[in-house]
Amino acid sequence: MTRHFEIRARGAKKRQRTRGSLLDSAVNVFARQGISNAKISDITEIAGLANGTFYNHFKDKDELALQTALAIILEIASGIDQSMGNIKDAQTRLVVATTQFLTTATKAKDWGLVLVDGYHQLPKNKIETAVYLKADIQLGLDQGVFDTTLDNVLLDQIAALIMSSLSLQLATGIDKNVSKRTCQHILQILGMSTADAIKSVRLAQPKLVGLQL
């Protein structure tokens, strides 16, 4: 079992280390049993913790599922954002970020399975949880390449496309063509013409070469 969040918390206070252990255990159990079938006792057993300890960190399983999905999204998205420091145009940033997200979440299969299963657990106010995506969309609006309204409806549409693509690639393996089409459709939702969206996806491909995908 991957101990990603537990390792991340090394050197931190005991409470943070325990929380990291619970997140890692939740990923393991959710990915194999599904969120609806998982039991808190299964998670605490793998974490080596008492059930009572669980409730010192999370109200219930639903809150744990939410926090696990958010932790995964933030971990992937923050790493992607750091890797794109030299990319200034919004459409290229979105293509690179979406492709990297899909590739990372497909390779880290447990993470991807939890995200697909737990997507509907995410808060209704997704603008507050999609800070990196929101920033790139706003950049595109400021640059005049996107023509849309930045709200939760838009974010839901984009997230649904990404999760559908992720679900497919988890089942069949990483597929560059599926990722390209997903990026194209996202750019179209953001107001770009079909021709401009296809061109933007094509021009962004060299930026993906050499990245840790």
The rounded distance, in Å, linking the Cα atoms of 169 and 179 is 9
Whether residue 118 is found in the same domain as residue 182: yes
Q: Which residue has the higher pLDDT, 209 or 50?
A: 50
* Inside any domain, residue 79: no
What CATH code is carried by the domain that includes residue 36? 1.10.10.60
Given this model, what pLDDT does residue 30 score? Answer: 97
* Inside any domain, residue 161: yes
The rounded distance, in Å, linking the Cα atoms of 186 and 198 is 11
Model confidence over 152-180: pLDDT tens digits?
899 999 999 999 999 999 999 999 999 99
Select from 171, 53, 202, 152 the least CA-distant residue to 105. Answer: 171
* Inside any domain, residue 168: yes
Residue 36's domain comprises 4-58
Residues across the chain: 213
Tell me how many degrees the CA angle 22-7-37 measures, rounded to the nearest 5. Answer: 25
* Inside any domain, residue 80: no
Whether residue 89 is found in the same domain as residue 182: yes
The rounded distance, in Å, linking the Cα atoms of 87 and 36 is 40
Given this model, what pLDDT does residue 126 score? Answer: 63
Whether residue 103 is found in the same domain as residue 204: yes
* Inside any domain, residue 149: yes
Model confidence over 48-87: pLDDT tens digits?
999 999 999 999 999 999 999 999 999 999 999 999 989 9
Whether residue 52 is found in the same domain as residue 90: no
Q: Which residue has the higher pLDDT, 141 or 211?
A: 141
pLDDT band for position 21 (cuts 50, 70, 90): very high
Whether residue 89 is found in the same domain as residue 38: no
pLDDT band for position 213 (cuts 50, 70, 90): very low
Whether residue 99 is found in the same domain as residue 189: yes
Whether residue 106 is found in the same domain as residue 40: no
**From the CB of residue 80, how many other CB atoms can be counted at a distance below 10 Å?**
20
* Inside any domain, residue 29: yes
Structural domain total, the chain: 2
* Inside any domain, residue 121: yes
Q: Residue ranges of the alpha helices (H) in the chain?
A: 4-8, 14-33, 40-47, 51-54, 61-83, 90-107, 109-118, 131-143, 152-172, 176-189, 194-208
Model confidence over 178-192: pLDDT tens digits?
999 999 999 999 999
Query: What is each CA distance from 87 to 50, 93, 138, in whole angstroms?
Result: 47, 6, 15
Which pTM does this prediction carry?
0.92
Whether residue 109 is found in the same domain as residue 165: yes
Whether residue 126 is found in the same domain as residue 182: yes
The rounded distance, in Å, linking the Cα atoms of 64 and 83 is 29
Lowest mean pLDDT among 30-44, 73-87, 101-115: 73-87
Given this model, what pLDDT does residue 128 score? Answer: 61
For residue 211, pLDDT over 70 is answered with: no
Whether residue 98 is found in the same domain as residue 23: no
